[in-house]
Each structure stands twice: as structure tokens, then as C-alpha cells.
Amino acid sequence: MKTTNFKRFEDLEEKYFGDKGTQERDEYEFDLKMELIGEKIKQLRIENHMTQTQLGELIGVKRAQISKLERGNHSASVSTIVKVFHAMKANVKLKIETVDKIEYAY
């Protein structure tokens, strides 16, 4: 069995998901971020002793939508994600970075 010695995690990412700036890599990084957001939503919901149904009722969506969010579903709007975090007393900052400056939207 042939093994390849990778020295950095970035080497694996480039091999399996493409170089930074490519569409394939951008999609991978977006999916990863959505999964991390979903995990955080689930973690906070459990810490707040809420079911998915209770959280959904609190922000006006069905349990299925909360389930999709927790699994990292791509179709969630930013406003829904912000509502979820606010319902669990968590502050959310959206960082918008352009070439010449960084802005935060709350």
C-alpha cells in the first residue's frame, strides 16, 4: 500500500477540494462554514434546554427548518440564522470584508 506524506492540512484540502479561489474550493469552504454554524445552533439549543420544535415556534419556523439548519443546510437565509441565535440570547456579527476595509453588520 502506497502512502503519501502530507505535511499540512492545507495540502489535503488542495488535493481533495482544489486550490483556494476555485469554485470547487469555495463551495467546500461554504459547506464547512454552514456545518459549523449548524453545530453551534444545536449546541446552544441543547444548552438552553429547547427542542427543535420549541426553537422553531420561538422564531416562527417549523421544526424541520431548525433540523435543516443544524445539519448545515445551504438554503437558510441570514435573517433566519440571526433570529435563531438571538432567540437563544447569542449575539451575531456578520463580517463583510472588501479589499480596502472590514465592516460588521449586526
pLDDT above 70 for 65: yes
Residue 75 pLDDT grade (very low, low, confident, very high; cuts 50, 70, 90):
confident
Q: What is the pLDDT of residue 1?
A: 58
> Taking residues 79-92, what's their average pLDDT?
92
Q: Output the pTM of the full model.
A: 0.72
Q: What is the pLDDT of residue 100?
A: 81
Rounded Cα distance, 52 and 54, in Å:
6
Q: Which amino acid is residue 83, in one-letter code?
A: K
Residue 86 pLDDT grade (very low, low, confident, very high; cuts 50, 70, 90):
very high
